């Protein structure tokens, strides 16, 4: 098996022939300035601000540091125990799906074709459930599988099967390659990175823009590095920035010259998780890939984990006919079929595609005030000091916060000592290495609204204290 040293960010050769080490911050200086790295929408830069901390006099910084230190000491004395670490549904959201607990009901164990679902078989999953999610995912029912309870488990297994057996269009199993590389848009999802790190797959960070991964860097890397076999993508409400891939970016990803067995791991986890009425039109990545001559490139994953119950949902896999046949052959020695009774109760709970929309509107009613609270508190606490910039996503489960360079780890540590657990700094980058030490993922979904406000206010104090400490240390 190949191996690659951790904490290494390979260089990228750009079309001008120059090499850029650590292709993370986001293109040229001009590009970084124009898009603030990877901010999706409203940031602190658009909120009312006072004099930024880095423009304050030494005496002003000392006075502010004393004030923030006093606030922090009071925060620690409160003995809080609050958690903003993971994007989990709240108990109130889980209550929305409690109908599952009594479904499908005594004597209800047949699908529309009359098949007894209590028995073995049905490896594709129930067609009625596949038809409900085929529209939002833009996958034909015949090419969409309804499987177990975890899309992360599916992504893991697909990578392992590719390592063991290779994929359609490939010359050999990936494990026989000296090096296997994945592109990792950043900031990104730590569990994606963990799968690659577990199996020695090299990760190259690619900066996100407001409409998806930087296409210039992606195209350059794919054209010059045949070891690149995959790329992680969260195309709708990307984790954690909330970015939505544009059709232009998707066309770039499906058409760029690459290794024949290069795959887009298309994790459409948040495709129905809207927070506003401005809903992006789903992009048919399979059709665009086929049009570009690479029909086998996208591998689409999704689940009902944040629609119904995270531990008792249904995961989906969609792709080209060749890829669907490939995964079914591999799974045939692993399972004789998924939990069809669970799929039946999901059909009964959700009903149809319109039922999913109605169900997700109830989720939105719970979540929207929490995301509004993040923006309001950061505007109130951070913006007056020019401290940080953050996204205001139109869907999904996270907010991406950038603090001053070199301050993320300190801010998270201070918050932890005050009883406010936040996603570890660096988690949104491969190998947990954010080279600028500035990005922090905020997960506002799980706490009650009052607890969330308390946590955000306390965390803001930690950010302000960390930034004033760093500025004073540099004076």
User: Cα-Cα-Cα-Cα dihedral of 67, 73, 76, 77, to 10°?
Assistant: -120
Cα 349 to Cα 101: distance, rounded to the nearest angstrom: 10
Rounded to the nearest integer, the mean pLDDT of the chain is: 91
d(CA 331, CA 313): 19
pLDDT tens-digit map of 59-91:
999 999 999 999 999 999 999 999 999 899 999
DSSP string, 221-280: HHHH-TTEEEEEE--SS-TTT-----HHHHHHHHHS---TT-EEEEE-TTTT-BSSS-PP
Residues 310-351: pLDDT tens digits? 999 999 999 999 999 999 999 999 999 999 999 999 999 999
Task: Tell me if the pTM is above 0.95.
Answer: no
Say how far residue 9 (Cα) sits from the centre of its chain.
20
Yes or no: say if 422 and 473 are a contact pair by the CB < 8 Å rule. no
Instruction: Look at residue 475 in the predicted model and tell me its pLDDT.
Output: 87
Q: Is 441 left (phi over 0), alpha (psi -120 to 50) or beta?
A: beta
Reported confidence tier of residue 28, pLDDT bands at 50, 70, 90: very low
Q: What pLDDT, in 10s, does the model give residues 466-475?
A: 999 999 999 8
pLDDT at 33 over 90: no
Closest CA to 230 of 179, 180, 176, 270: 180
More confident site: 385 or 4: 385
Helix (H) or strand (E) holding 121: none
Judge contact between 273 and 363, C-beta under 8 A. yes
pLDDT given for residue 49 in this prediction: 63
User: Given a cut of 60, is residue 96 above it in pLDDT?
Assistant: yes
Query: Is the pLDDT assigned to residue 8 strictly greater than 90?
Result: no
Residue 300, judged by CB atoms within 10 A of its CB (0-12, 13-18, 19+), counts as: buried
Q: How many residues does the chain have?
A: 475
For residues 370-375, average pLDDT: 98
Q: Note the pLDDT of residue 45.
A: 35
Q: Which residue segments constitute the domains of the chain, with CATH numbers given? A: 13-92+360-474 (3.90.1150.10), 103-357 (3.40.640.10)
Are 25 and 436 in contact by the 8 Å Cβ rule? The answer is yes
Query: d(Cα 243, Cα 397) in Å, to the nearest integer?
Result: 12
| Structure-block tokens of residue 192 | 């994606």
Tell me which DSSP letter residue 425 carries.
T
**Predicted pLDDT at 48:** 52
Cα 220 from Cα 264, distance rounded (Å) = 16
DSSP 395: B
For position 252, what pLDDT does the model report? 98
CA dihedral 250, 256, 262, 264 (to 10 degrees): -10
């Amino acid at each position: 098996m190949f191996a690659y040293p951790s904490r290494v960010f390979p260089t990228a050769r750009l079309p001008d022939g120059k090499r850029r080490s650590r292709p993370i911050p986001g293109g040229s200086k001009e590009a970084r300035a124009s898009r603030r790295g990877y901010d999706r929408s409203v940031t602190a830069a658009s909120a009312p601000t006072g004099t930024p901390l880095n423009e304050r006099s030494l005496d002003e910084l000392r006075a502010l540091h004393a004030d923030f230190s006093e606030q922090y000491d009071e925060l620690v004395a409160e003995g809080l125990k609050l958690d903003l670490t993971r994007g989990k549904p709240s108990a109130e959201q889980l209550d929305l799906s409690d109908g599952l607990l009594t479904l499908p009901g005594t004597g209800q164990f047949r699908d529309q074709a009359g098949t007894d679902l209590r028995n073995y078989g049905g490896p594709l999953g129930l067609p009625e459930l596949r038809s409900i999610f085929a529209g939002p995912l833009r996958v034909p029912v015949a090419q969409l599988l309804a499987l177990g309870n975890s899309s992360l488990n599916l992504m893991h297994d697909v990578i392992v099967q590719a390592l063991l057996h290779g994929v359609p269009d490939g010359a050999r199993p990936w494990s026989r390659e000296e090096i296997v590389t994945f592109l990792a848009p950043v900031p990104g999802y730590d569990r994606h990175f963990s799968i690659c790190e577990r199996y020695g797959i090299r990760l190259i960070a690619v900066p996100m823009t407001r409409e998806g991964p930087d296409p210039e860097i992606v195209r350059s890397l794919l054209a010059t590095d045949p070891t690149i076999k995959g790329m992680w993508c969260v195309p709708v409400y990307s984790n954690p920035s909330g970015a939505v891939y544009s059709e232009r970016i998707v066309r770039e990803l499906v058409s760029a010259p690459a290794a024949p067995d290069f795959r887009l791991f298309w994790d459409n986890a948040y495709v129905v998780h809207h927070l506003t009425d401005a809903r992006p039109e789903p992009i048919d990545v399979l059709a665009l890939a086929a049009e570009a001559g690479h029909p086998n490139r996208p591998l689409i994953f999704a689940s009902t984990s944040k629609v119904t119950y995270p531990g008792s949902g249904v995961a989906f896999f969609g792709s080209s006919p060749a890829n669907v046949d490939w995964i079914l052959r591999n799974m045939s020695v692993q399972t004789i079929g998924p939990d069809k009774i669970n799929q039946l109760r999901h059909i009964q709970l959700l009903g149809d595609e319109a039922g999913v929309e109605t169900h997700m509107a109830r989720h939105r009613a719970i979540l929207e005030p929490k995301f509004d609270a993040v923006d309001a508190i950061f505007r109130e606490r951070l913006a007056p000091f020019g401290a940080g910039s953050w996204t205001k996503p139109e869907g999904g489960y996270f907010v991406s916060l950038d603090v001053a360079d070199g301050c993320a780890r300190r801010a998270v540590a201070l918050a932890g000592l005050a009883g406010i657990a936040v996603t570890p700094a660096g988690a949104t980058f491969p190998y947990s290495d954010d080279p600028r030490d500035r990005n922090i993922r905020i997960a506002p979904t799980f706490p009650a609204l009052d607890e969330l406000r308390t946590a955000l206010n306390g965390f803001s104090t930690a950010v302000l204290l960390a930034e004033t400490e760093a500025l004073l240390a540099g004076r």
